[in-house]
Chain A
Amino acid sequence: MRRRMMAMTLVTFVSLAVMLPGVASAEGESVTSTIRYDDPESGEELPAVGVAITVTDANGEIVAETATDDEGTFLVELPGPGEYSVLLDPDTLPEGVVLRSPDRNPAVVTVQEGQAGRTIFATTSGEGGGGGGGGGITARQVAQLTWEGLKLGLFIAMMAIGLSLIFGTTGLVNFAHGEMIGWGMLVAYLFNFYGVAGFVGFMHDLPAPLGAGINLILATMIAIAGGAALGWSLDRFIFAPLRRRGVTLISQMVVTIGLSLVLRYLFLFAFGGVPRFFRDYTAQSAVSLGLVEITPKDMFAAALSITVLVGVGLFLLLTRMGKAMRAVADNRDLAESSGIDVQRVIRFVWTIGGALAALGGVLLGLSEQVSWNIGFRTLLLVFAGVILGGLGTAFGALVGSVIVGVGIQVSTLFIPPELKNVGALVVLILVLIVRPQGILGRKERVG
């Protein structure tokens, strides 16, 4: 079952990779943009001269390196239609000027045949955009970053619960959890753009949902199912047999590492190195709610995460399976001797862990961007959340993740945004020194 599924999805991904680069090289494709900024002193709008721009194609090969001219404009001739990424070197911007959304750098442009692709790099000088300390910190900034952090924390929590429960029930730290996140994101992307036709090549010309992409909400549901299927299969075909063979935990951990490498680089092979965005709900304007500005998609994503997390919490507290899961995590031998089918519980934990990771991945992709290695980058934050909350506890993972999310975003008031994840690790190390069992963990869990 799993093998067939893997083969099928592999085929899909391969066809996806093949379809994306331009079909035939027509004449005159280019990408262009003009970068301007507000002079902090005079408030006058000026062109940003000499800003370094690097354009790379879908394979990550550099097409051109250039700089903006006296009008702040750059124009790069492209070899053909397709998807390109335009990277702006923020260091070459005028003094005190930063990009308004550094997350959108590099910008991804899809250039049609014979067209000139455009990108927009909005700049901001002085306040906003995060970064670098200096200047006063406004309540508005704090509120906005707290909201962003809360959102990130909720996403991390969704991924962390699975990781923590898998550790709790089996003792295994799953280093392939990041790939379960990436898997969800990419399955959703695949269906969002290519629909069912992604699976069967000849259906391209049929109407949606067969030939064309389907709405992201439907695609997300498929991604959740795909995540559950991946989690289920990993346990059914890899980790359950390993446990039966008596393969030790450290060996299993190295197996998860191997698995994560294979999966991650299959993602790169299929998806390519350039980050992209989902087709729906990408450009939304923010609604102002008092101190914070929130896009509708973010509000929906946060509400959905809270609903799901509350649902998982109630499930753990109220249902028989939930109680069994907590019992196994608490004391496996005792649970087994009181008649709980431990292997079944573990299979279930892997399945919902996979589903939650997939949903978290989609929401992360929606709020940031879709990329092949976002899973691994996020995994480090998930680890920080899980350890902060207490490895092996479901509710600890939730609390820890939200703290990590808020901490990361708010820290950008004081440190450069590119170093925000460093803060998460520092917290992780401090927690291990001061309270290794985490906020909600119990002391005897730790050797």
Chain B
Amino acid sequence: MLFAAIDWGFIFDQTLTQVFGLNAAVYAIAAIGLNVHFGYAGLLNFGQVGFVAMGAYGMGLSITLWELHPLLAVLGGMVFATIFALLLGVPTLRLRADYLAIVTIAAAEIVRLMARSTALRSVTRGAEGLNEFIGPFREYNPFNPSRAYGIGLVDYRGSEFFAIVIGWGVAILAVLLVWTLMRSPWGRVVKAIREDEDAALALGKNAYWYKMQALILGGVIGGFAGMVDAIGKATVQPDFFVAPLTFFFWLVLILGGVGKVWAPIIGSMIYWGLITFVQNLGRQLVDQGIVPTSVMDPSQVDQIRFWIVGATLALLMVFRPQGIFGSKEEMALDAR
């Protein structure tokens, strides 16, 4: 039997751990922000990872540089994300949708380059990243860091479990916030602008300002993804925030269904389940020599995810843009 050597138990355990783990929570939060941008306001944000980075660095620097209280540091992360949104929104929100796409993808990469540059090393610590901000957060950890905490079939270390609880807590709060806002008059205006900006303008709504507010809201939610990730990993690494990450969030959003409130959470769990399963299977196939190293060596297994994400993203967009739960009518697909 070719597959007899595969440790299926291990793969399923890993997969389940990731489905409810820190990464899934982080991706879900980032995709909720993206849902506000693209799903509700029709803004084409191809640089969500920039907001995530701003959130993480805003929080981290608040502690390492200004020695603020952790709660104020979270506020710092929100402020950083807001500034980034203003920087991107002011020049682009009056223009066609694709200008925002170009500027966001470039700006996100610029954030990463600046953060890892030696010129700003005294502030951002260059490629090493921020590592000394986690102390104040640890004091609030109600869980025993060295103990394992289980939910059902999976368990996590206490140090990580704290971040996971925060992460899913933030994700659920963000979903509730978005749900409430989108049923409010504000949400109806935002959706009206997505459907027909001219009509909204004719009704006396300041479309530019509403779009800006949506960009800030989604960006700050994205910033929370960065903060949760930083707390969970106890570090902020500039090279975590590479451009493809944005499109992982996009896939999470589209998988679940654009414009559906809960979709990012479900999408993120599906995404992490799928990716972890494939990667672990791939790794074992290579390690066991079932796939010879002349075809693929162990370090290349991690590249599989980019192929899967790229191909799935393109195929979904063509054949099922509404994802699993979405409806096509709710999507703003026309470039304006």
| Bound-complex Cα distance A251 to B316 (A) | 9
Q: Is the CB of A436 within 8 A of B99?
A: yes
Q: Which of A173, A260, A419 has the most CB of B within 10 A?
A: A173
Q: Which of B296-336 contact A (CB under 8 A)?
A: 296-297, 299-300, 303, 306-307, 309-315, 317-318, 321, 332-336
B306 near A253 with CB under 8 A, answer no
A residues 258-278 in Cβ contact with B at 8 Å:
258-266, 268-269
Contacts of B114 in A (CB 8 A): 419, 422
**Residues B314 and A258 in contact, CB atoms below 8 Å apart:** yes
Asked whether any CB of chain B lies closer than 8 Å to the CB of A384, the reply is yes
Partner of A429, one of B87, B309, B317: B87
Residues from chain A with a CB closer than 8 A to the CB of B312 are 258
Give B158-178 as 1s and 0s: 1 = Cβ < 8 Å from A's Cβ atoms: 000000000000000000000
B244 near A429 with CB under 8 A, answer no
Return chain B residues, CB-CB under 8 Å to A387: 99, 102
A258 engages B311 (CB within 8 Å): yes
Pick from A255, A432, A433: contact of B318, CB below 8 A: A255
A18 at the A/B interface (Cβ < 8 Å)? yes
Which single residue of chain B is at the shortest CB-CB distance from A91?
A: B118
**What is the predominant secondary structure among interface residues of chain A facing chain B?**
helix
**Cβ–Cβ contact B98 & A254, under 8 A:** no
Residues of B within 8 A of A242 (CB): 318
Q: Residue among A255, A263, A384 with the most chain B CB within 10 A?
A: A255
Q: How many residue pairs bridge A and B at CB < 8 Å? A: 147
Q: Say whether B150 faces chain A, with CB atoms less than 8 Å apart.
A: no
Residue from the list B117, B119, B303, B314 in contact with A255, Cβ < 8 A: B314
Interface size class of B (residues with CB under 8 A): 35 or more
CB contacts under 8 Å to A, within B100-133, are: 101-103, 105-107, 109-110, 113-114, 117-119, 121, 126
B109 neighbours in A (Cβ, 8 Å): 380
The answer to whether B276 has its CB under 8 Å from any CB of chain A is no
Please, which residues of chain B bring their CB within 8 A of the CB of A383? 102, 106
Contact of A250 among B99, B310, B318, B334 (CB under 8 A): B334
Contacts of A91 in B (CB 8 A): 118, 121, 126
Contact A447-B310, Cβ < 8 Å, known A261-B244, A425-B106? no
**B106/A257 in contact, CB under 8 A:** no
Residues of B within 8 A of A415 (CB): 119
A436–B307 touching, CB < 8 Å: no
In the complex where A59-B299, A251-B317, A418-B113 touch, is A265 in contact with B310 (Cβ < 8 A)?
A: yes
In residues 402-447 of chain A, which contact B (Cβ within 8 Å)? 415-416, 418-419, 421-422, 425, 428-430, 432-433, 436, 446-447
Top 3 closest A-B pairs, CB basis? A258-B314, A261-B310, A262-B310
Task: Write the residues of chain A forming the contact surface with B, with a CB cutoff of 8 angstroms.
Answer: 14, 18, 59-61, 90-91, 171, 173, 175, 242, 245, 247-251, 253-255, 257-266, 268-269, 376, 380, 383-384, 387, 415-416, 418-419, 421-422, 425, 428-430, 432-433, 436, 446-447
